[in-house]
Structure 1
Amino acid sequence: MPLTATGPLVTAAAAARRAVAAFNVITLEHAEAIIEGAEAARTPVILQISENAVAFHHGRPAPLARAAAEAAALASVPVALHLDHVRSAGLLHRAADCGFGSVMFDASHLPYEENVAATRAAADWAHRHGLWLEAELGEVGGKDGGGPLDAHAPGARTDPAEARAYVAATGVDALAVAVGSSHAMTRRTARLDHGLLVRLRGALDVPLVLHGSSGVPDAELRRAVAGGITKVNIGTALNIAMTGAVRAHLAADPAVVDPRRYLSAGRRAMAAAVTGLVAALEPVGEGGVSGGVRTGCPP
């Protein structure tokens, strides 16, 4: 099916008090695995390409974005394409031409007033060009090799009153909030501030996004979704799965030189990880297991 716009997927999830998973794409194998895992779970999914991934591909977003879009066109579930953690206005302005339906513009590293001004300009441009825009207030640590922020560090948590003013001033469509997760975690040990999440949900009328979700245990993820998180970003977990499978394949067959052999193992491992992580976002039914109709999915 053709690409689905991100906004309707997230809006539908919010209306159903559910969440849609957004997985980072670095290679074509990532995109294929994410779609395969989502199809196994019969759930919509968002493919997201970060500014760092674009930099890895020589600063050219189009080749990977178009490959991901072609893979999405063959999917049996709704798939959206999102440009993530963009700090460059130049890259933002290339998003629509590369097939992205949404962008996360990241000015969270700037002082508050500068963040507001930059994000307002980004939102205005995005909306004029038919793009849904996400932003971040507070700081989710772990980007670009930095460690997680201390829970009491300035900016480590999103303030509800400030977030309400920020959304009104910028006109963003969704807000990534800092409630205790961190990017690039390789162990699932994060503990979220669920009380803060409840206050944020009460203060805001836009969908809330959780970044750095690879380090959040299943029970914490499920509780976060119940508390109002609508989009869940996951990246490192797939890289752990892929790298582990590739290492195991090379160790078992050190003479192999055909990358299709070990990349196939990596792709299978990522697909399985996607299916498992999507299941963790499902609400728990009366029988104590995940259940319910998945938003926008075929029967």
Structure 2
Amino acid sequence: MPNPPRTITELLADLDPAKALCAFNVETFDTLYPVFGAAQKTGAPVVLAYSVPAARYLGFAETADLVQCLAGQHPDVDYALHLDHCEDPADLRAAVDAGWTSGNFLDEGAIAPGTYLDTAAALHSDLSSRASLEFVLGQLGHAGHAHTPEPVTAAQVTDFARACSPDIVGFDAGSLHGMTEQTRAIDIDLIAAVAASTGLPVVLHGSSGVTPDHIRRGIDAGIRKVNIETLIRATYLDTVRDTVTGTGPGARKPRYLTAATDEALSQLYSSLLADYTLREV
């Protein structure tokens, strides 16, 4: 039966404010498929996120069709379909036109200086009735890049939010994209101050490098969406390597490989949903 995606705003309205949505950056069918089983098993809503290159590979409309085909097999699963790390507003418009219900407009160096706020405000004016929009103040850090984000204040984030009207707000709180170990702390006081001053849900980028305790404290402070990519990729690739280099009847056979990655990712997704979306408060 049909099970179309909902907006993140709608999912958050049904979620306890002391809990956060998990946004799983799935990229491929093999990492997408187990999400629905984990969400069905746990009863948690979920955000299915694709980077722009991954969405372009199949096509915005085709990706939306694929996701909805799988969602139709899990009619009880509430989910949003999110385009992540989008720098070209044309991509975000095309995705929403194709049925995507959420998008992140983020400057990673390709947006012309001085144009972000006006572009974000125009996106909000044109798309906010159909999709939840996530806007990010400044450029976020990456473990593999030399760029160091400028420190921000709650007042700066509040002014930013007033200027472009995001549904979800992002900013540098101390995390880094691309980290493979959960060792970083985030600025809990800043997150709490932003949540209080803007009244908006806060998104955490780079969660794969943040200590679990700080993620939990961040959710207490106002994080309502936790983005997860590197941890998913590492789990998937480690399982692939272990399976294809192993011995026995399942070695180097794709049908066994898929079963192995399904099991590993299902465990990961279920654990993250339990920790962040279904956490006891």
Task: Give the TM-score, by structure 1 length.
Answer: 0.84
8 A Cα contact 1:27 1:64, kept in partner: no
Q: Which residue of 2 aligns with 1:39?
A: 40
8 A Cα contact 1:241 1:269, kept in partner: yes
Hey, what's the Cα distance between the residues in 2 that align with 1:205 and 1:113? 26
Deviation at 1:205, TM superposition (A): 1.5
Q: Which residue of 1 aligns with 2:116?
A: 115
Hey, what's the Cα distance between the residues in 1 that align with 2:183 and 2:227? 16
1:66 maps onto 2:85 in alignment: no
Q: Indicate the SS of the match to 2:67.
A: helix
1:29 maps onto 2:30 in alignment: yes
8 A Cα contact 1:10 1:20, kept in partner: yes
Task: Note the residue ranges of structure 1 that are not aligned, 5 or more in a row.
Answer: 284-289, 293-299
Q: Which residue of 2 aligns with 1:52?
A: 53
Structure-2 change in CA distance of 1:148 and 1:160 (3 Å): farther
Task: Note the residue ranges of structure 2 that are not aligned, 5 or more in a row.
Answer: none
1:11 maps onto 2:23 in alignment: no
The CA deviation string for residues 228-276 of structure 1, in whole angstroms up to 9 with x for no partner, is 0011111111111111111111121388453222122112211111111
Hey, what's the Cα distance between the residues in 2 that align with 1:19 and 1:259? 35
Deviation at 1:148, TM superposition (A): 7.3
Q: Which amino acid aligns with 2:269?
A: V
Which of residues 264, 269, 273 is equivalent to 1:274?
269
Q: Indicate the SS of the match to 1:202.
A: helix
Q: Indicate the SS of the match to 1:23.
A: strand
Hey, what's the Cα distance between the residues in 2 that align with 1:74 and 1:178? 38
8 A Cα contact 1:18 1:225, kept in partner: yes
Q: Which amino acid aligns with 1:94?
A: A
Q: Which residue of 2 aligns with 1:83?
A: 83
Hey, what's the Cα distance between the residues in 1 that align with 2:32 and 2:146? 27
Q: Which amino acid aligns with 2:263?
A: R
Q: Indicate the SS of the match to 2:190.
A: helix
Alignment of 1:210-249 (within 5 A): 210-249=204-243
Deviation at 1:10, TM superposition (A): 2.2
1:167 maps onto 2:161 in alignment: yes
Deviation at 1:172, TM superposition (A): 1.5
8 A Cα contact 2:42 2:270, kept in partner: yes
Task: Give the TM-score, by structure 2 length.
Answer: 0.89
Q: Indicate the SS of the match to 2:170.
A: strand
Task: Work out the percentage of aligned pairs sharing the same amino acid.
Answer: 27
Deviation at 1:131, TM superposition (A): 1.7
Q: Indicate the SS of the match to 1:46.
A: strand
1:251 maps onto 2:245 in alignment: yes
Q: Which amino acid aligns with 2:158?
A: R
Q: Which residue of 2 aligns with 1:261?
A: 256
Q: Which residue of 1 aligns with 2:145?
A: 147
Deviation at 1:174, TM superposition (A): 1.0
